[in-house]
Amino acid sequence: METENRTSPDRNAGRKAAEVYRAACELFDERPDWVTFFRRILGRKGIVRESYPDAELLRKFEQTRTYLKIQQMLAKLREQGIDPEVTPAEPVRVITVRIPESLHELLRDEAGDLRTSVNKLCISKLLQLIDKELVPEEATIRANLARAKREREQVRQGATAESEEDEIEKVGEDL
C-alpha cells in the first residue's frame, strides 16, 4: 500500500486561508487607509486573488468566516475615511450607472437611514459578495431582448395579415 505524502485539499485550503488572514491582520494592525487595505488584500493583485487564482476556489473562500472577518476589517477601516495628506495617491475613477428612478430613491432613502452618502452606500454594496446567479449575463439579456423583438414583429405581421384579409373580404362583399 502506497502512503500519501501529499497534503489533503481541505488542509491545504485551511493553510492558505490562514496565510491570507494573517497577512490581512498584519496590515490591519498598521491602520492603513481602507483603499490600501483593499488593494493589498482584496484587489486584483492582492493576496486573496494571488492565493485563489481559480474562480471556483475564490468563490468558496469568499463564503468562509475568514473572508467575512476580512470584510469586517475593511469596514472598520472605511469608518476612518481617507486623509488625502496621508493616503498615497491612487487614481479615482468615476462610473455612471443607469438605474430606474425607483431604485435611486430607495438608495437615497437607505443612505439617509444609515446617515451616509449615496456614494458611500454604493461603495459598501459594491464591496459585498454577490451570488453570481443574481447577476444577469449580458449575452442572455441580449438574446432575450432579440427574441422578444422577433415575437413582437411576428404579432405585428400577423395583425397586419389579418387586417389585409379583412379588407379583401370587405372588398369582395362590396362587389
**Mean pLDDT across the stretch 136-155?**
80
Torsional sign, CA 57, 129, 139, 155: positive
Per-residue pLDDT reduced to its tens digit, 112-139: 999 999 998 998 888 887 777 767 777 7
Give the up-direction half-sphere exposure of residue 153: CA atoms within 13 A in the CB hemisphere.
Answer: 6
The verdict on residue 2 lying in a domain is no
The verdict on residue 1 lying in a domain is no
| Contact of 71 with 127, CB cutoff 8 Å | yes
Domain co-membership, 157 together with 104: no
Using alpha carbons, select from 52, 40, 113, 119 the residue that is nearest to residue 77. Answer: 40
Domain co-membership, 156 together with 121: no
The verdict on residue 163 lying in a domain is yes
In the prediction, which pLDDT does 118 show? 93
Domain encompassing residue 99 = 93-135
In the prediction, which pLDDT does 168 show? 62
Count of domains in the chain? Answer: 3
In the prediction, which pLDDT does 9 show? 63
**Mean pLDDT across the stretch 85-112?**
85
Domain co-membership, 162 together with 174: yes
Domain co-membership, 12 together with 80: yes
Place of cell 459594491: 126
Domain co-membership, 67 together with 129: no
Domain co-membership, 80 together with 106: no
Per-residue pLDDT reduced to its tens digit, 1-13: 444 445 566 678 7
